[in-house]
Amino acid sequence: MIGKVISLPELRETANGTKVASLEVEVERNYANSEGVYENDIFLVTLWKGLAENCTNLCEVNSMVGIRGRMASKTHDTKEGNKFYNCEIIAEKISFIAK
């Protein structure tokens, strides 16, 4: 996917010392709505290890990036006992297209 960085990643570590960061990317849909406007979707991208470190140092808000990765889903139970599903993108490669 190709999109615009809308929040800077913050580098953190897991309990076992693995580096991880999250990045929010805004992606324009490839079709217009009924008013002729192209809407955007915001995706949470998880970065691991060296990719997390590099992106933390190189990313700037409004940079265009290309991301290759995979979708991952998580399930959580709410206090009321309902299931809540969450999807994220696990980045495998990021290309910086423009700043």
Nearest Cα residue to 46 out of 16, 75, 18, 78: 18
H-type helices in 1-99, by residue range? 49-58
pLDDT band at 99 (very low <50, low <70, confident <90, very high): low
Instruction: Find the domain containing 58 and state its range.
Output: 2-98
> Which domain CATH number covers 72?
2.40.50.140
pLDDT digits (tens, 9 = 90+) for 17-63: 999 999 999 999 999 999 999 999 999 999 999 999 999 999 999 99
The residue count for the chain: 99
What value, to the nearest 5°, has the Cα angle with vertex 13 and ends 9 and 19?
Answer: 65
Pairing of strands 19-32, 64-77: unpaired
Give me 5's structure tokens.
């960085």
Overall number of domains in the chain: 1
97: tokens are 């297209």
pTM check: above 0.85: no
